[in-house]
Amino acid sequence: MLGWLRPDMMAESAAQVPFRELAKRGVRGVIFDIDNTLVPHGFAADEAAVALAHEIKSLGVGVCLLSNNSEKRVAPFADALGAYFIAKAGKPGVGGYREACLLLGTTAQTTVFVGDQLFTDIWGAKRAGMYSILVKPIHPKEEIQIRLKRILERPILWWWGKHGAVGCAADGLTK
């Protein structure tokens, strides 16, 4: 059901994603959403986010941030992580995902996307032909429009969970 929206992997948090395994399988770039994926909504880059970006880069994998938020929000965050960035990305439009690959020097086949929202993050990644990883949102207090999307996400996630649809290993990455 809803295969066009289904993430290739689900993880408890960005830190739980098996980046080492993904790198072994040929992944050369990681694109991250920021808000509620790396930090609570609106928060500055913290030690954990900086350490995660550092760890990924040490695997020879590039990091790019892709956010619908403003450059004022995204640029300092990217600076702290030493990452590329695209602000006002227009997710779920595919343009930003493609631009991110250009910055990373990767293709959709060698890039994975990590984000917390099905209808923006994951849908866009799927449309861009990219391996997509859904993480649980960090912060429970969210803006009203995001809360409404959560209400729509819930039965879909429940259905996938019930039907064992989404793996937690990197087995799906065959591209």
From 79-87, 109-117, 124-132, 162-170, give the range in contact with Mg ion by CB under 5 A.
Answer: 109-117
Q: Tell which positions 8-47 bind Mg ion, by CB under 5 A.
A: 33, 35-37
Cβ 78 to Mg ion, closest distance in Å? 15
Residue 116 binding Mg ion, by CB under 5 A: yes
Give, to the nearest 10 degrees, the angle between helix 71-81 and helix 47-58: 60
- The CA-CA-CA angle for residues 86, 156, 63, to 5°, reads 25
By beta-carbon proximity to Mg ion, the closer residue of 23 and 125 is: 125
Please tell me the count of residues contacting Mg ion according to CB under 5 A: 5
Cβ 7 to Mg ion, closest distance in Å? 14
Q: Report the candidate in 116, 152, 118, 149 with the shortest Cα–Cα distance to residue 36.
A: 116
Intra-chain end-to-end CA distance of the chain, in Å? 22
134 contacts 32 by C-beta, under 8 angstroms: no
Residue 142 binding Mg ion, by CB under 5 A: no
Footprint on this chain of Mg ion (rule: CB under 5 A): 33, 35-37, 116
